Amino acid sequence: MMAPMLIRSAAMFLLAWPALAASYHFRAVWDGAKLWKDACVIIQGDRIQSVGPCGGTSVDLSRFTAIPGLIDVHTHMTYVLDNRVSQAGRGAAVVFLAQDNARKTLETGVTTVRDLGASDYADIAMRDLINNRQMPGPRMFVAGYGLQITRGRAPSPNTADGVTDVMRVVRQQAGAGADVIKMYGSTGSGRDVTGFETFTFEEMKAAVDAAHALGKRIAIHTYGPDGARDAVRAGADSVEHATDMDDATIAEMARRKTFYVPTIDHNRYYVDNARRLNYPPNAVDDLNNYIQRNLATARKAFAAGVRFAMGSDAVYTMFGENTRELGWFVKAGMTPEQALRAATGNGAELLAMEKSLGALQAGYLADAVAVEGDPLADIDAVVKNVRWVMKGGEVVFDKTK
Ligand SMILES: [Zn+2]
């Protein structure tokens, strides 16, 4: 007898909920385009009603500056480093173990991720659980399996060789419910910093066309310049990692407005954790060398007018460090505001969500982050001083006391 009543009262609560508006008072609000001093953000339900001068009662967050919820466009939320569950059960335990990654990501102010590759569609399960409010976490846009060429092991669901195969695997991901397509266009991952092109231009073009025909965007991973050259010309929506890109490719990215997601910081994570990850001693030198070339390429691309989005490429225990990439963006020549734009408006645009995410403006989803310090003067205010996070009108992290 209890159950129907509970259901009825929950439904009434949900009906009543959008009527309640709440006001939050900040020292300043960077709305994605401009700075409001001493301003209030009014939230109604899961949306922003308005931003502007305060009036009436508000929640006092006047020690903090508000910025839009951040967008990390390159994660692997389902990669967990936990050997305590037996090998045979690891696949089934992944989503449970990945809750930690989701929570730590929220605590960095990242309220949305583009998750670029998972096994067994664990990413789809996680996205749905989060959307259904059964698991706390950032809203996820997921890729399912990332396409790879055959590499000497038994074929897996992501293996594709040749145009026909590529089209089939892209369509499988879209059919399974992926939001975006991921293709591994070169070698390079973890301690391996080689960047040999894997898929051909024709295969990349087939993947891009098959993805776009189904209304999906595509991210192409490439550690080296050859894969980048072909990915850009094939029409990839974003190019991931990519060092040593030649001037013509960089110019083409600027012309086509291809997003560059350099993920410089993920190799810093591998350097810091080389021992824990059992990397051989020479791996650290290779990784540091790669980081320097990655930064140099980012500097060149930014100067040439290429658009950036913030991607951490977080795996394992890197969650919670998702926004350290912003420090590299500033090193590459961006102002803190330009770096923030890469992690807000640009990320939203790459997700085709620029009307709902990436800004604190009327009508947008109520994703907001309160930071201590001035984020437009010092990017560390964002990287190190997140104190409060709201996602879809709900406070999901609060360290203001
Ligand atoms: Zn990745």
Going by pLDDT thresholds of 50, 70 and 90, the confidence category of residue 56 is: confident
How many angstroms does the Cα of residue 316 sit away from the middle of ligand 1?
12
Residue 1 tokens, joined: 């007898």
pLDDT digits (tens, 9 = 90+) for 165-203: 999 999 999 999 999 999 999 999 999 999 999 999 999
Mean pLDDT value across the chain: 95
Q: Which helix (H) or strand (E) holds 302?
A: helix 283-303
How many angstroms does the Cα of residue 153 sit away from the middle of ligand 1?
20
Q: Is the pLDDT of residue 10 over 90?
A: no
Name beta bridge partners: 394.
391
Q: What is the DSSP letter of 317?
A: G
Report residues near ion ligand 1: CB below 5 Å. Answer: 313
Q: Is the pLDDT of residue 3 over 70?
A: no
Radius of gyration of the chain (CA): 21
pLDDT digits (tens, 9 = 90+) for 82-117: 889 998 999 999 999 999 999 999 999 999 999 999
First to last CA, the chain: 42
Going by pLDDT thresholds of 50, 70 and 90, the confidence category of residue 19 is: low
How many angstroms does the Cα of residue 232 sit away from the middle of ligand 1?
18
CA dihedral 70→219→115→284, nearest 10 degrees, is -90
Q: Is the pLDDT of residue 346 over 50?
A: yes
CA dihedral 246→250→252→258, nearest 10 degrees, is 130
Q: How far apart are alpha carbons 208 and 329 in whole angstroms?
A: 28
Helix, strand or coil, per DSSP, at residue 332: coil
Indicate the pTM of the whole model: 0.95
For residue 17, which phi and psi values (nearest 5 degrees)?
Answer: -55, -45
